[in-house]
């Protein structure tokens, strides 16, 4: 017990002394130990680490630090003495925790001999973390700081490229639901990570707890002078109203919005806002064709099987708004294209982050006879996957290839409708760097632009009947050529 109190005292009053003691201890133990990094709440420095034996956190010091940091061991990468992520904690193998572990298979080198090295190591961990409620702050933002709202990330990525891009700072304001949804927000996060790797930019994350938070988060990024943010990316339609005001209040600030078009009171596009929208109905038509054809077959693979006595599919939406109706309408039209006699059910959870309701809705659909359920519901969709696995049926993911991002459900995620939000973020950053920022424009991405599309789940590649994959290619080309007109509302299906 006295040892534990000593560790607490060292952590609280002398992180550098603790760090020195750690290395002395590691050297004395023959280098057979690993170092794990966890969240650093206010008051602790990036030098606060724990030494553990073997895999993440079996020694008392590791357990103590996890308690101090409020961390679960399944959320901590394991680093060797060179600072490389060499493994993951084996404790949890269920739900989102297992996905977080799967994301920690590889990592970038981060010398643990310096504070900067610890920063890089923490940055690697943060970029791979899927937990939307726990954040690592690597840098203070001065006037930007909002308790629990802004999280630092990156800053050392890449060699900076040409044109001084290493000095470019990007503010990321995510949609409600936050990081860890394994779809929409996480795809935006992938985009800024790609920009960091390509250009060496630095970025800061802000995750609103409610729609009313986004306006202030936008303004705090725009007002900041240390650092100055050359670009602010606003992810999600909910940000449009506040951005209309803020973009005009800060006319020298470049902004990007995803999933909406921002105009002034006269109906004109605003010069310093790049608008990115997607033709989600086109990609949804594709997965509707797949679902419609599959439910009419006697098919069994992975963790699911179809019921040959029923021909039925389902759709679960997040909030019932025109944007999500595009997903539903395209999907329903694709199902009708496959077979107009197929029974179609749809329901809305009313929330983007309610897996329990998603599971309840999907379970009801599977019990009614649905073979496949497609969701466009953000984090709520995790419940759809849970239901598919429990019922031995199939699901279709959204925004990301969710057979990868939610790999614990890959045996039932037959396909996903990908929406390349990452491309919107990456292109916006690239435009700021090369002077071709697309402000005052609407960037509309569909199948022809490779902005949306259907991807087969990783466990189902080469396992679907050839008739399905052939029809997917045929209908894709038909949509691009204009031979197939995909509706955007259910009234037109």
Three-state secondary structure readout of 193-234? HHHHHHHCCEEEEECCCCHHHHHHHHHHHHHCCCCCCCEEEE
In this chain, the answer to whether the domains covering 139-278+421-450 and 280-419+462-492 adopt an identical fold is yes
Task: Measure the CA–CA gap between 77 and 66, rounded to whole angstroms.
Answer: 12
Q: Nearest to residue 111, comparing CAs of 27, 35, 24?
A: 35
Residues recorded for the chain:
493
Better-predicted residue by pLDDT, 174 or 7:
174
pTM: 0.67
pLDDT of residue 309: 87
Decide: 32 and 86 in contact? Cβ < 8 Å.
no
Reported CATH class of domain 139-278+421-450 = alpha beta
More confident call, 359 vs 86: 359
pLDDT of residue 107 exceeding 60: no
Containing H/E element for 419?
A: strand 413-419
Task: Give the architecture (CATH level 2) of 280-419+462-492.
Answer: 3-Layer(aba) Sandwich (3.40)
The per-residue pLDDT for range 418-440, each reduced to its tens digit, is 999 999 999 999 999 999 999 99
pLDDT in tens, 275-323: 999 999 999 999 999 999 999 999 999 999 999 888 999 999 999 999 9
How far is it, in rounded angstroms, from Cα 480 to Cα 61? 59
Burial of 143 (C-beta count, 10 Å sphere; 0-12/13-18/19+): exposed
Residue 344 pLDDT grade (very low, low, confident, very high; cuts 50, 70, 90): very high
Average pLDDT of the segment spanning 175-201: 92
- Give residue-wise pLDDT tens across range 426-475: 999 999 999 999 999 999 999 999 999 999 999 999 999 999 999 999 99
Q: Would you report the helix, strand and coil content of the chain in percent, each value rounded to 5?
A: 45, 20, 40
| Contact yes or no for 257/323 (Cβ under 8 A) | no
Half-sphere CA count of 260, side-chain side, radius 13 A? 22
The pLDDT confidence band at residue 268, using thresholds 50, 70 and 90, is: very high
Strand, helix or coil for residue 105 = coil
Listed by start position, the domains of the chain span 1-135, 139-278+421-450, 280-419+462-492
């Amino acid at each position: 017990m006295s040892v534990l109190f000593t560790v607490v005292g060292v952590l609280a009053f002398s992180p550098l002394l603790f760090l020195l003691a750690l290395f002395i201890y590691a050297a004395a133990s023959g280098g057979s130990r690993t170092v794990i990094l966890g969240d650093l709440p206010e008051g602790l420095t990036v030098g606060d680490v724990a030494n553990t034996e073997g895999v993440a956190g079996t020694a008392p010091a590791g357990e103590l630090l996890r308690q101090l940091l409020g961390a679960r061991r399944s959320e901590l990468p394991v680093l060797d003495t060179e600072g490389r992520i060499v493994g993951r904690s084996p404790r949890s193998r269920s739900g989102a925790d297992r996905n977080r572990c799967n994301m920690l298979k590889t990592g970038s080198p981060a010398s643990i001999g310096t504070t900067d090295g610890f920063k890089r190591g923490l940055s690697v961990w943060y970029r791979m973390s899927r937990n939307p409620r726990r954040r690592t702050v690597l840098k203070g933002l001065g006037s930007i700081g909002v308790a629990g709202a802004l999280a630092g990330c990156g800053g050392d990525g890449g060699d900076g490229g040409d044109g001084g891009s290493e000095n470019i700072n990007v503010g990321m304001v995510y949609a409600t639901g936050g990081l860890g949804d394994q779809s929409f927000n996480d795809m935006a996060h992938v985009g800024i990570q790609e920009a960091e790797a390509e250009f060496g930019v630095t970025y800061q994350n802000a995750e609103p707890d409610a729609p009313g938070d986004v306006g202030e988060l936008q303004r705090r990024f725009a007002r900041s002078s240390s650092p100055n943010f050359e670009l602010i990316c606003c992810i999600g339609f909910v940000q449009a109203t506040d951005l209309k005001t803020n973009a005009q209040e800060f006319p020298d600030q470049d902004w990007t919005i995803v999933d909406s078009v921002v105009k002034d009171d006269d109906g004109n596009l605003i010069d310093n806002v790049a608008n990115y929208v997607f033709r989600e109905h086109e990609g949804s038509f594709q997965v509707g064709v797949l679902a419609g054809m599959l439910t009419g077959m006697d098919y069994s693979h992975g963790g699911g099987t179809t019921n040959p006595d029923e021909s039925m599919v389902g759709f679960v939406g997040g909030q019932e708004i025109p944007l999500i109706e595009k997903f539903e309408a395209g999907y329903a039209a694709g199902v009708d294209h496959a077979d107009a006699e197929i029974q179609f059910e749809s329901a809305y959870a009313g929330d983007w982050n309610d897996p329990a309701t998603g599971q309840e809705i999907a379970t009801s659909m599977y019990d009614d006879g649905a073979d496949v359920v497609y969701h466009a519901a953000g984090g709520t969709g995790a419940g759809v996957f849970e239901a598919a696995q429990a019922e031995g049926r199939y699901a279709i993911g959204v925004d990301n290839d969710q057979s990868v991002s939610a790999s614990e459900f890959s045996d039932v995620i037959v396909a996903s409708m990908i929406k390349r939000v990452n491309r919107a973020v990456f292109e916006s950053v690239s435009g700021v760097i090369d002077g071709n920022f697309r402000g005052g424009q609407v960037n509309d991405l569909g199948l022809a632009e490779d902005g949306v599309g259907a991807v087969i789940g990783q466990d189902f590649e080469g396992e679907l009947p050839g008739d399905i994959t052939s029809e997917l290619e045929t209908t894709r080309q038909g949509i691009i050529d204009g031979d197939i007109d995909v509706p955007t509302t259910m009234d037109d299906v």
